[in-house]
Amino acid sequence: MLWVRNHFWPAEIILIVHVFSQSSAYWTHLGSPPFVHLPAIAGPYAWALTALFWNGAVAAHAHNLPSRIVANILIWVIFVLGQIHIFAAKDYIFGYALSFLTLSLAVEQFHIKIIALQWIFALAIFAVFFVGSLYVSTVVYSNRDIFFKRIVAPESTDREREPLLNNQ
């Protein structure tokens, strides 16, 4: 309702709190199954990050050169956050959600102003997110680490699991 009534600054404060809440839920439930992780954690968190920057641009009436420069800088903040989540947390689902949202940003910015940098940046970020998510999903499902080395279970050094009697 705040968006409809043009109360953008209170909406921005609520979105900031929401992003922190989503971030807490994200890091708490990182190991959830993919069919739960996408609709309950990754999708809403990606949307909350996108909505935070979108509402901030609307609240600041971003139609002049300085605000476009700030928007071009802040799109790289989305890139850094996405790369951290994709590669550090191996969360390819969040990467796919962010790549979809940055592609939609690129298309909309292209329709708004063809001779600008933001749609080019968004398209490049979409490509990096999509390829990175594809790489990480391949790594996860082939049981390898991020450097594509096979993950081997360590040998058990637990003395309690050894047989009680020697074979003498």
How confident is the prediction along the chain (168 residues), in pLDDT tens digits per residue? 677 777 788 889 999 999 999 999 999 998 889 899 899 999 999 999 999 988 888 877 777 888 888 888 888 999 999 999 999 988 999 999 999 999 998 998 888 887 778 889 999 999 999 999 999 999 888 877 776 677 666 666 666 666 666 655
Q: Which residue has the tokens 């476009």?
A: 68
Please, are residues 93 and 42 in contact by the beta-carbon 8 Å criterion? yes
Residue at 149 is within a domain: no
Overall domain count for the chain? 1
Per-residue confidence (pLDDT) for residue 157, from 0 to 100: 64
Per-residue confidence (pLDDT) for residue 130, from 0 to 100: 97
Q: CB atoms < 10 A from the CB of 126, how many?
A: 20
Say how far apart CA 163 and CA 66 lie, in whole Å. Answer: 72
Residue at 84 is within a domain: yes
For the record, the structure tokens of 132 come out as 């990175």
Instruction: Quote the DSSP letter at residue 29.
Output: S
- The predicted model scores a pTM of 0.79
| Distance between start and end Cα atoms, the chain | 78
Residue at 47 is within a domain: yes
Residue at 45 is within a domain: yes
Domain of residue 138: give its range.
Answer: 3-142
Residue at 50 is within a domain: yes
Residue at 51 is within a domain: yes
Please, are residues 42 and 97 in contact by the beta-carbon 8 Å criterion? yes
